[in-house]
Amino acid sequence: MSYEISEVNFDDLSDEQFEEVLDASNALDAEAFPRHVDNTAKELRIYTTSPGITQHRFLVHDADRLAAMATFRYPDDGTNSETLFCQIRVLPGFRRRGIGSMLLARATELASDLGRKTLQGVIFDTVGAGKAFVRAIGARETLDFHENVMRTSDLDIELLQGWVDQGPSRAPGYSVRLIEGLWPEEFFDDIAHLFFVLERDMPTSEAFEPRVWNAEKISELQDHWAKGVDSLSTLAIHDATGRVVGMSDMIRRKTDPTTWVVTTTMVDPEHRGKSLGKWVKGAINLAALERWSGGVYQETGNAFINEPMLAINRAMGFEHELTMTDCLLSVEDAHTYLEPRSDQA
């Protein structure tokens, strides 16, 4: 069977064309994520784009059906110049037919055109076909991340309140400020620094380097995501300087209040060792319980080797739900794998 592969811009698709993309995306997400709730078309358009990221999208059709989709992306700030980040997704009824290899060939061609040497992707332990494909093409599985979940009804109020109450004594000279919605412009520079620190210090595959973060990018990022989510943040303030030196951020979809997602909790290295992480974590949870109704689950993600944050999450009662694994494949090795299959494309 022959397949048609085309590069597309989601913004150029008609509502009818985008509907098949939405249906396929929701079906694939439901396979990967145990508690998936379908996205709307508006949400998918928001969640599949991000300021500062250049993306190339491909759709694969058979005669009349969408069979697969892929996204290849890279930051536009000049960082990660040797890496092309890849997401290849084949619908269950079309697997083991060479479509993944077709899309891998497109990724390899694009990476070569861009002068990039490494392809990086993520697989989920809930999708066996993804792991089988990665092993078949010879990619290296590098760093494991796990998604953790707990019921909001199981949050230990006494524990969280204790972290907040002990904050001033454990971290004299600091205070915590709650932000509901958008971050104030006065904090953009400090938050940009924290995002850089997060990417610099968090466990990552060796192919990744921290991006360039600045006030402009922070403004664009939060304005973009505010179209689809509500947000709460707790900011740790160094009183003497007025600078933001730590934060915890939580979001929920506007269309689905049942799941609260902790997007980040981070403290500047110069201000660690004072339990600021527990303070902002406790404060944001108490604020969410007070301000957000309908919460059933809270989820967060961590690398397996990030022990300080894992300890906080274990204390709160989070349990492992699924594992994501970074995978790396050199463009050279991709060419070697694809060469005997070129006639099948």
- Domain annotation covers residue 321: no
**Both 211 and 250 in a single domain?**
yes
**Both 330 and 293 in a single domain?**
no
In whole angstroms, give the CA distance from residue 115 to residue 84.
10
**175 is written with which tokens?**
């205070």
Question: What pLDDT, in 10s, does the model give residues 286-304?
Answer: 999 999 999 999 999 876 6
Mean pLDDT of all residues belonging to the chain: 94
State which residues form the domain around 237. Answer: 157-316
**Both 182 and 45 in a single domain?**
no
96, pLDDT greater than 50:
yes
- Domain annotation covers residue 151: no
Question: What pLDDT, in 10s, does the model give residues 40-83?
Answer: 999 999 999 999 999 999 999 998 899 999 999 999 999 999 99
**pLDDT attached to residue 275:** 94
Distances (CA, A) of 189 to 31, 76, 157, 192, 193: 39, 19, 33, 5, 6
**pLDDT attached to residue 340:** 85
Question: What pLDDT, in 10s, does the model give residues 201-235?
Answer: 876 777 788 999 999 999 999 999 999 999 999 99
CATH code for position 311: 3.40.630.30
> pTM of the full predicted structure?
0.92
**Both 305 and 340 in a single domain?**
no
**Both 78 and 176 in a single domain?**
no
**Both 268 and 289 in a single domain?**
yes
344, pLDDT greater than 60:
no
How many domains does one find in the chain? 2
Mean pLDDT, residues 26-36 = 97
**pLDDT attached to residue 304:** 61
